[in-house]
Amino acid sequence: MHAEPDRVPEPPPLPAAVLEVWPMIAVGAIAWLAAAVLAFTVPAFESWRPVAVAGLGTGLLGTGIFLWQRDAARRGARGAQTGLQSRRGQISKT
């Protein structure tokens, strides 16, 4: 079985569940929030404080970058990522 030399095989499209980012963002935010609450309320978990705060900050930064890239894709910016969900739930092909 040989592929045609001038034809590059395309990977299959990702499942719709993988393209939904908000459930994953919510799960990550809730997990880091729970870790932060434990770190600041339970004395035994006091050493978790820097990591929990860093996790919350990283999550906020990552969510901000995602929103920025999604809006750039909706505008049609040349350097924007493709395949990001728009606010209306449609995938941007730009």
Mean pLDDT for back-to-back runs of 10 residues, the chain (94 residues): 72 82 91 96 96 96 90 81 57 48
DSSP-derived secondary structure letter, 47: G
Q: Which H or E element spans position 44? A: none
Say what the pTM is: 0.65
* Domain residue extents for the chain: 20-74
> Residue 4's pLDDT is what?
62
**What are the start-end ranges of the H helices in 2-91?**
16-19, 22-41, 49-75
pLDDT recorded at residue 90: 52
**Residue 14 confidence (pLDDT):** 81
What integer pLDDT is reported at residue 72 of this predicted model? 85
Q: What is the pLDDT of residue 85?
A: 56
